[in-house]
Structures are given as C-alpha cells and as structure tokens.
Chains A and B, each alone.
Chain A
Amino acid sequence: MAKTPLQRSYLNWDGVLGSRAVLGILGWVLFIGGWWLAANAELAPQRLFPGPDQVFVSLYELLTEKSFALDIWASVKRILLSFLIAILIALPLGLIMGSYPKVDRTLGPLAGAFRYLPAPAFIPLLLMWLGTGEEQKIALLVIGVLFFLIIMISDTTRQVPKVYTETARTLGLNSAQILWSVIFRYSLPGYVDVFRQMLAVSWTYLVIAEIVASTDGIGAMMMRAKRFVHVDEIMAGIFVIGMLGLAFDALFKALHRGAFTYLSRT
C-alpha cells in the first residue's frame, strides 16, 4: 500500500500495528489503563468504583477462600444443560420446518412471534409452575434461546441447494435418508455457527435466571455481594461471565475449523 505523508514515520509502526494480536491487546491495555486512572482519580468512593487491581484481588480471594469455583461450575452446568435441551427441541423442529414448506408455513409464524416475547416476562409463570428450584432456572434459559434457535436452524436448513436433494432423489434415496444424509449433513456447519451465536445469548440470561431465589451460581454470588456492597466482587462476576462467554465462543470456532475442513478453500 502506498503511504500518505501523514503515515510516514521512522519507526516501523505499520509492522507493529499491523499485527491483529498486538492491536487486540492494545485495546485491552487502553481499557484497563483508563479504568485504573478513573478509579484512582477518586471521582467516586473506592467502594462503589474499585480499580482493576482491586477486582482481580477479590477474584483471587473469591476463588481461594469463598469457593467461587463451585458457583462457576453451577452456572456452567445450567448453561450447558439448558442449551442441550433447547437444541434437542429446536433441531428436529427447525430441520423439518426448513425442509417442508407446509410445516414452515404452519409453525414459522408461531415461533417467529414467540421469539419477540422477552424471556424474563415468563419468570412469574415459571415460578408458579415450577417453583424456585433448578427447573425454573433451566426453563428460563431454554425459553431465552429456543425460539431464536428454531428460526435460525430452519433458515439454515432452507439454504441447502436443490441440486443436492434432487441428485439424492435420482440416486434412489428416500425422504428420511435425504433429510438425514443430505439436508442435515449439508447444514451441519451452519448449525454449529448458529449454536455459537445463541450460546452467547444464553450467557446474557444467566444472571437473570440466577437472581431469583438462587443459592449458587455466578449470579447468586453477585446478588450476595450486592447485599454487602462488594462492588469488586460483582465486577469479578461480570468479568468471569465475559471470559466464559469468550471461551465457549472460541471452543465452537475451533470445533467448526476442526470438523469441517472440507469447507476450506486452498
């Protein structure tokens, strides 16, 4: 690329700043540095606006002294279980809807409408039907992603080019075989992508699910911390949720790359 006069410099900044990783880290350094400065400028009482150093110390203490790892595990279990249930419902439905226009015209508008109902609005109902236990939390997390999952899976399914299903028909496959060996198989990478995106949404519902009558979980820890005005612990909770979200995202991306090598163009 040709340089404009403004870009000319004696250091090779293009080389250093051209690296994606370096730029990514730079963003974090700026964010944490700015946070530290703001916290130390005493704009607000330290108790209400702790700096990053304090938050990391309290995260360490949470893990070593307050068995925070068990809370994290409880939350991860809820996310995984609820997501698995949502997939088990949404995948067959979305697959059938995306493959058979008549089913789609029947169920599509229904799922489409439910998608716009805010999941937290179901909490009072769920409390009455399921009580305050684990079932209620799982149900809320399922509802939070289910209808989006159904719609996105049926959209993905509909993308299968006709030439593949018609080729399969001329090769003598029956409808069930085409559904499984062609439509599902062709869509699989797309499904994994949908799962990755929707799992992120699932994490955003976690705290809401764990605010109500919870004794364990990251959200419950944050509610306990609020009672004692431990803002540093609340922030540590937010940080951990963010990190877990990123980790699962990376996991799905790695799965996609590893399992679908046939998509790579080389």
Chain B
Amino acid sequence: MTSALPEYSGPGLKVAGVNKTYPLNSGQHLLALSDINFELQKNQIGVLIGPSGCGKSTLLRLIAGLESLSQGEIQVAGKAISGPGVDRGMVFQDYSSFPWLTVEENVAFGPVHRGEALSLREGVVEHFIRAVKLAGFEKAYPHQLSGGMQQRVAIARSLVSNPGLLLMDEPFGALDPETRWQMQSLLLEVVKKERTTVLMVSHDIEEALYLADVVFFMGTRPGRILEVIHPNFERQSDSRDAILDVAEYRTLEKAIRQMMRAQSLACA
C-alpha cells in the first residue's frame, strides 16, 4: 500500500520560544519557564532532569495540553497543539488506574470512550497488556496490583491509543529501586519496539542516562534549559547494570551531578 502523503520526517516534538507565567495571589507573576527551545527526534527518548521547582512538570503539562502557553508554540509531529489530544499520552507519578475498572477495562478506556468498535480495539488491548507483561492479570482490579504493575497499566493504557509522543512525569519515582530498574528495562524494550517518541521527567541521573537518547538539563529561576546532552553509549534492556561499567556513563553522571549541586547552591 502507498499513501498519497509523504511520511512526516521532521522532529517528533518541537518546542519554540515557550514562556509560562503563573499569576500569584499577590498580583505579581511567577515566570515558571523562560524561553524554552528544543527538539526531540522521532523514536527517541528525551529526559528532562534538573533541581525540583525548575519547571519540569510544568513543561510536560504544557506539551500534554493540560496547561495553556503564555507564549511560544509547541508542535507534535509538525502540528501545533492546542489542548490535550490523543496524539500525546501522559503517565503521572501518582497511580492513575481507575479503581472501579479491571486492568483490561483500564487499558481499553481511551478507545472505548472514543467509540472504537470492540473488534478493532480487542487485539490492540491484548497486545499492550502482553507488552507490559500483565498477561494473566486482565481481570484484576488496581487495588490488587503492586505499584509497578499499576504504572504498567498506565503505560499500556497510553500506548493503546497509539500516541506519537508519550509523556511521563517521574513515572517510577514512587517505586522501590529494584522495581524501578525492571520498569526502566521494560519501558526501553516497549517503546523501542513500538517506535514511540518519549519525553520523561526524572530526578534520577542514573535513570536519565540509562534511558535517554538526549538529556535536557534544566535550571531554576527562571526555569530554563541549560544543557543538552547526547549520551551515545550502548545500553541493553536485558542487562540493566552494564552501563555502570561504561567510562562515558561515569563521566556524564559526574558532570550532571555537579550541575545539580551548582543549581541547588544557587537557589539556597
């Protein structure tokens, strides 16, 4: 089959000249994000990292369309966004599985409410439940699942809608270290296979370097991007610890840690 339109070949995400101000009770304005410009190529994983309060969540929520821009433009696959859309999925740190629905019903939630036919969505739902390794738990309710499993439900629920861009705000922040490692490998495996562009917020340098094709280091007051880092060492989803022995990994880890410290000192 050939399609009439040539496939879009530009960046998966383009953020241009974005400012975000919040009105404060005092009548003044808080400049949460100042002149944000960056691009994320298709099928790549970008990680936003930086001291807390530098506007990582705000930036992600702007891209998700959950907050309105004060200035600038955001394009996803070449199209300027306005408001939330199915072209962008979002996974929050807080567990977000609907408690009254089973795993299966949670994953099918988007398609069901968009009126997709059962025959169309059935296979996709099953596919993503298997992709996040929840086969056998289709009929389980969220309260019967561990934290890691709940986040897997959230990932599957987002991916089912086939978003070009998956946004994740510290999705593994509430998990214990062992589960977090497993989740990182799983995520890497799934999004590389599904060819999903991912922008993730993390405060964990190791996580950022393990997952990211590109790391955006952000600073505070005002929130802005200070550094764009392209870690280009091999990583394997089946051997999570291998990168710890890579020399470049250790150099980058140290550099980012120093930038973090400098930012915290500047704010103290």
Contact = CB atoms under 8 A, between A and B. Distances in A.
Interface string B96-117: 1011100000000110011000
Interface stretch (A2-10, A166-174, A219-227): A166-174
A20 interface: no
Range of interface residues on A (Cβ < 8 Å): 20 to 34
Nearest to B61: A166
B84 A172 contact: yes
A186 B98 contact: yes
Contacts of B174: none
Given A262-B100, A262-B141, A172 B94 contact: no
A177 B98 contact: no
Range of interface residues on B (Cβ < 8 Å): 20 to 34
Given A161-B94, A163-B92, A170-B89, A185 B100 contact: yes
Given A170-B66, A172-B114, A181-B113, A263 B90 contact: no
B158 to A, nearest CB: 8
Interface in B46-88: 64-66, 84-86, 88
Given A172-B84, A172-B161, A166 B144 contact: no
A201 interface: no
A265 interface: yes
B224 interface: no
A169 B65 CA distance: 9
Task: Determine which residue in A164, A177, A260, A265 has the highest number of CB atoms from chain B within 10 A of its CB, and name it.
Answer: A164
A170 B65 CA distance: 8
A170 B113 contact: no
Contact of B90 (A170, A173, A188): A170
Contact of B143 (A161, A177, A182, A263): A263
A67 interface: no
B157 interface: yes
A167 B113 contact: no
Contacts of A186: 98-100
18 contacts: A161-B94, A163-B96, A164-B96, A166-B90, A166-B92, A170-B65, A170-B88, A170-B158, A171-B157, A172-B86, A172-B110, A172-B113, A172-B161, A173-B110, A173-B113, A177-B113, A260-B100, A262-B99
Given A163-B92, A167-B92, A264-B143, 19 more contacts: A163-B94, A163-B95, A163-B96, A164-B96, A164-B98, A166-B90, A167-B154, A168-B113, A171-B86, A171-B113, A172-B85, A172-B110, A172-B161, A177-B113, A182-B98, A185-B100, A186-B99, A262-B141, A262-B142
